[in-house]
Amino acid sequence: MKPQRFVLLDRDGTLIAERNYLARVEEMELLPNTLRGLRLLRDLGLGLIVLTNQSGLNRGYFDEAALEEIHAYLRRQLADAGIELAGIYVCPHTPDEGCACRKPEPGLAHRAAAECNFDAEESFVIGDKRCDIELGKRLGATTFLVRTGYGAQCEQEGVRGDYTVADVLGAAQVICDLMRDDNKRCITDR
């Protein structure tokens, strides 16, 4: 039996509205079509993981308790829609710290793959920034640039994923088409 395939999702600008160092749960807002897209991915039998750079931790803009509160709220909103994340993986480092986990470095993805037992090369990476697309390319995964968050700006700057789509639902619909060869049934009207 083949291992389950996973979708590696960026958080800010992809699943939730970009808030520039989101520090308060009251400011968190799911983007339109996020729930529909995640349900479709779930229905395809894909595991869902969030990989997020959160340098605001090391910059002192918020603490781990605030970040955990935001992630707990995100998980509750998704659970209310029947969606479960296999994990949320966070890099707290600033770009100049030179860590192995800050996207586009593959450290978070490799950790998630080891803990959740999947092949990162067989995954789908969805995000709104150059670092998300570069991460996917480094993994050998299929990449999706969404036009939400910074995505439209990145597209204008020449960032190209394997696919460029409007949002998470658009990515899910393309993934559904890609997986048709695996005899998966696509359900898009939920």
The residues annotated as belonging to the active site are 10, 12
User: Which residue, among 110, 89, 107, has the nearest Cα to 97 in the 3D structure?
Assistant: 107
Assign 34 to helix, strand or coil.
Answer: helix
β-sheet bridge partners, residue 126 = 9, 144
Q: Residue 10's closest CA among 96, 85, 115?
A: 85
Tell me if 179 sits within 8 A of 6, measured CB to CB.
no
- Which DSSP state fits 121? G
186-168-10-1 Cα dihedral, nearest 10 degrees: 0
